[in-house]
Each structure stands twice: as structure tokens, then as C-alpha cells.
Structure 1
Amino acid sequence: MMLTRDKWNAARTFIFSHARPLEQKLFNYHFENGSKEDAVNELTLFQNNDGGFGKCLEPDFRLEISSPMATTVGLQIAADLQLEKDHPVISKAMSYLESVYEDQEETWHAVPPEINEVPHAPWWHFDHEKGYCGVQTTWANPNAEIVGYYQLFNQEEPLLEKWTKRSREELSKLPRPLGKHDFLCYSRLLQTLSVCEETKQYIDSALSQAVHETVCKDLSRWDEYVAKPLDAAPEPSSPFYEHLKKEINLQLDYEIKSQDVNGYWQPAWSWFGQYEETWKKAEVEWRGIITLSTLRSLAAYERIEWKD
């Protein structure tokens, strides 16, 4: 099954009518030979003076100030744009992460307590007694991913060897099946490991075994908030593609069928009636993000009519 030209045009129209300028510039870059510089410039609008990312880059919390979690989102985009480690966006973000590392706890907390002062999804609420938000149930999210950015952009960090060793230890302790976001954080770490061959092999082996339990293969549940095959392997070069070939083809068909008549793909979650007016705005932003991501996977797997 292929995404028809009409459905492609509907998705494109939605992005340029409703998505954020960031997703519009990324669409231009990935599909229409647009300027990388234009995309980077849009990304920098979400970067604060302290180098961290905020300003609602992660639509589910409307926090203007920086947070490690929003900074990982910014670095995902920066890495995807193949920015070099000495690019100002990268160097500033890494300096921010260094500045907010909790030495005593040896961790980065996903979001600061100020998140409770702004509209946010319930899972981002900061628990003052525990000292972290509801998302942060394990060390992996966001720490494993952050260690990956140090592997990619700042291998001179004196604590990197210690952090990398801890990443392996924490992975060994995680309950199975691995949660969606724990898996994704470790997957991003895996793809940055150019040294530490033993650790790389361990993480690769552990995730290769876990992927079949983490990824939901039940098509009837793919409209729920579950880890779907394309989350683990958004393109054929992904390390888990060979493990999920059959399921990926099924999901590609599923995504083509589930596109809204208005061109977008819908997030599989809501804020459960909280901050309803703000959620309406966040929902549209997510539609733009998810639509761009879905189109990129469909293109990567040659499922769009114009991709001859």
C-alpha cells in the first residue's frame, strides 16, 4: 500500500497551514531541498540564554524556562540535522546540561519544579516529596539519552566513562519488558557509541532481546499509547529493522489507512480533561510533529507515490 499523491498533498497542506514554523522548515529541509540553516534558525528560537531548550519545544509542558527533557528534544533535532559538536546550538546545550547535573544524586532530573506553575500533561507533574516528575520512574529517561549526547558531542567530559558504565548497570537492572521511553533512550545512546565497544555490544544485545516484548505487535492497540514498530525502527537503517520487518510493513499500511481526512496523524493521548484550552493548542502542535515523523518514515520505506 502506498500513500497517494492526494494524501501526500493533504499532509503537506496541513503542515504549512497548522504546524509550527519549526516543523515547516524541517519539512522543507527533508523533502523540498530547503535550507538547513533555516531549520536551525527555527530550532534556536526554542533555546534559552542558559543554553537549554524550553519555550514549549516539548508541547506537553508549556514551560518557557529550560529543562533537561526539552533539551534532549532539541538535541534530537540538532543531531538529526547533523550539526557538528562545535556548532553554537550544540555547545550551548551541552554547557546547560553540565550546569544542571545533580552531583549528589548523579543524575539529571527531567524537568524542574517550576513545571507545576504552567499548564502540563499530568505525567509531567513534579512531585516535591520524591524530587522528580511522574515520567522519571527510572534512571534511563532521560539520563541514558543524555549520556549518548556526551558520547556524540563531548567525549572529553571527565565523567563520561563513569556515566557510560552506569548506563550499562542501570540497563541490567531495569524490569522487563522495557518501557517505551526507556527503550528509546537506550536506543539513542546505542547509536552514539563509537567507543566502549563492550558496552555497545551489551546494550545492542539487551535491546535486541527486549524489542520483541517492548514493541506492541497487536494492530488493534496501535491507536493507544504503546511502542509501535516504527518507534523502534523509523527507517531501514535503524538497528532493530531486521527484528521487526513484518510488523513494520503492517504498521506502514496501518498509518496510511489511519491518516485523517484533513491530512494529519493524531496523537494517541490527551491531557485527560486538564488545561483543556491549552491542550487544544498542544494537540495541533503534536499533529504537526507526528505528521512530519510519519511522512519521513513512509518516505524512508518508499511508501509514497512520488518516491519512484
Structure 2
Amino acid sequence: MADAPSVPFLHNLGRPRVRTVLERAEWFVWLSARPLEQHRFAHHFLGGGADAVETALAAYVRPDGGYAYALEADVRGPSSQPLAAAAALNVLDEIGRCDAARTARLRSHLPSLTSPDGGLPTLHPGIAGYPSSAVLTVRPNPPGSLLATGVIVGRLHRNGIEDPWLDAATEFCWQAVDGLTSSHPYEVEAALAFLDGVPDRGRAAKSAQRLGELVRDQRLVVTDPARAEEFPVHPAYAAGEYHYVTDVLRSPRSLAREWFTEQEVARCLDHLAAVQQEDGGWPVLWRLWAPGSAAEWRPIVTLDALRTLRAHGRL
């Protein structure tokens, strides 16, 4: 058999070479993404309607009002999980559909997932017996965590939703954020989701300033991609699982904008654009532990990269 010709990946699929960031990403999404991410891409970049995104999201709803079925790709199986609920609210928020009516069933379900401290655990014990990433620990009586609680509370507040459950969950988030003496990037991102959405803007700004000082002091975020190896990687993370300014600062309207200089933001945006791969998608830096999660994460990460670049005027 003759050696295969050395041609670009896209030519192998019969399509002429495409050159723009968005065109390359579009081809990758149609090739690789599950229906939800395809409809999200169409909504954000091709003028597609929000109804199609909602319909795709509905496939992940449980009869109890929660979300499951690997909507959050590292948490698999049919058990309603807080991280899946956070992922669902992120989708509804980004398409402008995170309102009281659409979140009513989920909000009625959240108390059943909540720990006694008022927060939602990273993993609810119902996940036992189903696959999930080994970095997410299953406990019989788990405490509340910012990872899901911060995102859910922040998104509900940002959309003006009131609910009795929110009172204790909001207080949990305030105590958790203000009590941080050490952290890791995923927790920082969840804390920011809370601070960017909570109604008390004055208190949020003060807490964000303190959180930003912690991020800088502990060098949790890479501010110079050319020197990434000089920044520490959390012991539970994969080798090379760096978090850059653009992972924290998805939008220039975030309170985290004050944490970084113009130069730091610019060079991390340059880096984000530069690491788009030949097939049009972006790489996943964390540990990929199962074929399903590996296949599903790259389109999700690709959408995040595109939306971040566009929010900063780079697309």
C-alpha cells in the first residue's frame, strides 16, 4: 500500500482548507460535537434560534427536575447532580432563557441535593455506582462546595430570580468566598460566577478584590504563557493543567478584570487564539479519563474559547 499523502486534516475530509478561526472551529463542531453544542454554536455564531438549544438541553432533564446524563461530561449516568444543574443554568443564561419559569422545576429540586450547611456538594451521593472522574470524590455525607453552588447561585441572581432556597445558599457562598485562604482555579472561577451575579455589588467588589489578591499571591493563574512552567499546578490536576487569564476572565465585564494588566490580558488572548489545533478545535488540558468525556469536552472547550475571544473583541 502506498504511503498516505501528507495533507492537512481538513483536506482529508474533502473540504478545501479554511483559514479563519471561526471557519475552522465551525468545521470541527459539525464533525465532532454533540447536538447541544452544535445548536449552541449555531445560536452564537450563525444566527440560530434559542429554541433549538433549549430543545437539545431538555434531553438532559430528569423527571425530578434535575439534570444528568453527562451534561457535565465528567459526571455520567442518570443521577441528578449539582454540577449538571450548574451546566444547565450556564446554557440557559448564555441564550437569554434563564428565567423564573424555565428554572422552576430545577429550583424545586435543589433542596433535595443541598447539604446541611446550605451549599450544594460537588457530587451528590446519588452518583455512587455510576461513572465519574476520579478527581471528583464521592462521599456519603458531602459538605457544600463552591464548585456548583457558586455557579448556580450566581446565575440565578444575575437573572433576577428569587427563591427561598437562595437565601441560605447565598449566605453559604459569602462565607465560603470570604473564608478562602487558599484555593485552586476551578474554585476561583466558581467564586467569580457568584460574585459577578450577586445583587450586593459593593460587597461583591470588595470580596473580588481580596480574591484577586489571593490569586496573584498564590500564582493560581498563568499571566505569561511563554513562562507557564514557572506557575504551580495544583497537586490534584494533570501535568500541564495550567489555567490562564482567559480561563478566569471570560468577559471583560467580570470583576476579575481588575486583577490583570492590559498586557497580561492581551498576551493570554494571543495565546488562546494560537492554540487552536489543526482540526479547528481547542485542546483539553485536564485529565481525560473516559472516551465519552474526552470526545465531549473538546467541543465544549472550543465554544468557550470562541465566546471568550469574541467577548474581548478578538473574533
Which TM-score bucket, shorter chain as reference? 0.7 to 0.9
Counterparts of 2:65 and 2:22, CA distance in 1? 36
How far off is 1:218 after superposition? 4.3
What pairs up with 1:96-135 in 2 under 5 angstroms?
96-102=109-115, 104-128=116-140, 131-132=141-142
Q: Which amino acid aligns with 2:196?
A: Q
Select which of 276, 286, 308 maps to 1:297.
308
* Equivalent residues of 1:151, 1:192 under 8 A apart: yes
Q: Deviations over 1:28-84 (max 9, x none)?
A: 111111111111111111111111111100111222221111101111111122214
Give structure 2 stretches of 5+ with no counterpart. 1-17, 230-238
SS in structure 2 opposite 1:120?
A: coil
Percent of aligned pairs sharing the same letter: 23
Select which of 265, 270, 278 maps to 2:282.
265
- What's the TM-score once normalised by structure 2's chain length? 0.81
| Structure 2 match to 1:287 | 298
| Structure 1 match to 2:83 | 69
Counterparts of 2:148 and 2:134, CA distance in 1? 18
How far off is 1:7 after superposition? 4.1
What pairs up with 1:137-148 in 2 under 5 angstroms?
139-148=145-154
Select which of 210, 221, 228 maps to 1:221.
228
Q: Which amino acid aligns with 2:175?
A: E
- What's the TM-score once normalised by structure 1's chain length? 0.82
* Equivalent residues of 1:67, 1:112 under 8 A apart: yes
Counterparts of 1:159 and 1:60, CA distance in 2? 26
| Structure 2 match to 1:202 | 206
**RMSD between aligned residues:** 2.5
* Equivalent residues of 1:59, 1:286 under 8 A apart: yes
- Is 1:91 matched up with 2:132? no
How far off is 1:240 after superposition? 2.0
Q: 1:114 to 1:249 in 2, by over 3 A?
A: same
Counterparts of 1:242 and 1:5, CA distance in 2? 34
How far off is 1:122 after superposition? 0.8
Counterparts of 2:247 and 2:213, CA distance in 1? 16
SS in structure 1 opposite 2:41?
A: helix
Q: 1:16 to 1:173 in 2, by over 3 A?
A: same
- Is 1:256 matched up with 2:267? no
Worse-matched range after superposition: 112-121 or 282-291: 112-121
SS in structure 1 opposite 2:135?
A: helix
Q: 1:248 to 1:165 in 2, by over 3 A?
A: same
Q: Deviations over 1:178-224 (max 9, x none)?
A: 32122111211112222x34532332332333343432224243882
Q: Which amino acid aligns with 2:246?
A: L
Count of aligned positions: 285
| Structure 2 match to 1:234 | 250
| Structure 2 match to 1:191 | 196
SS in structure 1 opposite 2:241?
A: coil
* Equivalent residues of 1:11, 1:263 under 8 A apart: yes
| Structure 1 match to 2:181 | 175
Q: 1:202 to 1:253 in 2, by over 3 A?
A: closer
Q: Which amino acid aligns with 1:259?
A: Q
SS in structure 1 opposite 2:240?
A: coil
| Structure 1 match to 2:73 | 59
How far off is 1:155 after superposition? 5.3
* Equivalent residues of 1:115, 1:125 under 8 A apart: no
Q: Which amino acid aligns with 1:301?
A: H
Counterparts of 2:205 and 2:67, CA distance in 1? 32
* Equivalent residues of 2:107, 2:163 under 8 A apart: no
